[in-house]
Amino acid sequence: MATLRLGDTAPNFTAETSQGTLDFYDYLGDGWGILFSHPADFTPVCTTELGTAAKFKDEFEKRNVKMMALSVDPIDSHHEWIKDINETQNTVVNFPIVADDGTVAELYDMIHPKANDKLTVRSVFIIAPDRTVKLILTYPASTGRNFYELLRVVDSLQLTAYHKVATPANWKNGEKVVVSPSIPTEEAREIFTKGVEEVKPYLRFTPDPLAVSQV
């Protein structure tokens, strides 16, 4: 299969997981989704990531986001690994982990190109309610994911999906946003009643239209 790109439809799949057999689309329902893969069970970085993801679950749920993890290892291995994660990370893994036979890894182009045919790269896919892929991140095996950044990206994606704005560098929920360059300044002043600050004709700022922190 060709490499997934932003805007592509996220492939659906049915797979055995740590929470039973699940259809991915049914699991997401009408919400957003994060699918993230791990090179293997019982690996140190992944153990910290899954523990952190469990601790962040409430914050993602506030944003109508469901998480699903994946590793190309059998379900019995997943259940034993979850025990270790809960113990070492002082949490309870509260989202499904796919016991992939390689099918999903192939669908999402997760197989590490420089390793064996089972090892998945550390990928992240953020998927919108219309099933399109909105973000793809790929980390090396040695670098753990930043879940604060994933929350920040979700906030940006959800804001910009429904308002004619973009988010500037290092933006955080509640901070000023950039007016879409396709909107003339006078029209922007009518749309964004909280005010428009014109730095350059192509660089205009306005307060966050939502302006309420979710964290």
Give 18-66 pLDDT, tens digit per residue.
999 999 999 999 999 999 998 889 999 999 999 999 999 999 999 999 9
| Residue 3 near residue 87 (C-beta atoms within 8 A) | no
pLDDT, tens digit, 9 for 90 and up, residues 138-155: 888 788 999 999 999 999
- In this prediction, residues 165-176 reach a mean pLDDT of 96
Using a pLDDT cut of 90, give the percent of the chain over it: 80
Residue 29 lies in domain: 14-145
Asked whether residue 136 falls in the same domain as residue 81, the answer is yes
Whether residue 211 lies inside any domain: the answer is no
85/142 Cα distance (integer angstroms): 18
Least-confidence region, from 79-88, 114-123, 180-189, 200-209: 114-123
Distances (CA, A) of 112 to 6, 72, 76, 205: 20, 12, 23, 41
Geometric angle at alpha carbon 152, from 52 and 54, rounded to 5°: 20
Q: Does the residue 151 lie in any domain?
A: no
Mean pLDDT of the chain: 92
Residue 215 lies in a domain: no
Residues 27 and 53 in one domain: yes
User: Are 40 and 100 part of one and the same domain?
Assistant: yes
**In a 3-state reduction of DSSP, which class is residue 177?**
strand
Pair (116, 29) in one structural domain:
yes
Report the number of distinct structural domains present in the chain.
2
Reading the block at residue 119, the tokens are 């090892």
Q: Is there a single domain that holds both residue 141 and residue 169?
A: no
Judge whether 103 lies within some domain. yes
Q: Per the domain annotation, does 69 fall within a domain?
A: yes
Q: How confident is the model at residue 122 (pLDDT cuts 50, 70, 90)?
A: confident
Read off the pLDDT of residues 60-76 as tens digits, 9 standing for 90 and up: 999 999 999 999 899 99
The answer to whether 39 and 81 have CB atoms below 8 angstroms apart is no
- Flag whether 121 is in a domain: yes
30: β partners = none
Pairing of strands 65-71, 32-38: parallel
Could you give the CA distance from residue 61 to residue 64 in angstroms, rounded to a whole number? 5
CATH number, domain with residue 178: 3.30.1020.10
Say whether pLDDT at 85 is over 90: yes
Task: With cut-offs at 50, 70 and 90, classify the pLDDT of residue 215.
Answer: very low
Amino acid occupying residue 114: K
| Residues 195 and 137 occupy one common structural domain | no
The answer to whether 192 and 171 are in contact (CB under 8 A) is no
Is the pTM of the predicted complex or chain greater than 0.75? Answer: yes
Model confidence band, residue 214 (pLDDT cutoffs 50, 70, 90): very low
pLDDT at 5: 94
pLDDT at 113: 61
Residues 56 and 89 in one domain: yes
**Residue 71 lies inside a defined structural domain of this protein:** yes
Q: Give domain status of residue 155, yes or no.
A: no
State yes or no: is 46 an active-site residue. yes
Q: What's the CA gap between 209 and 28, in Å, rounded?
A: 27
Verify that 68 and 94 share a domain, yes or no: yes
Q: Choose the catalytic residue: 4, 35, 46, 67.
A: 46
| Same domain assignment for residues 136 and 31 | yes
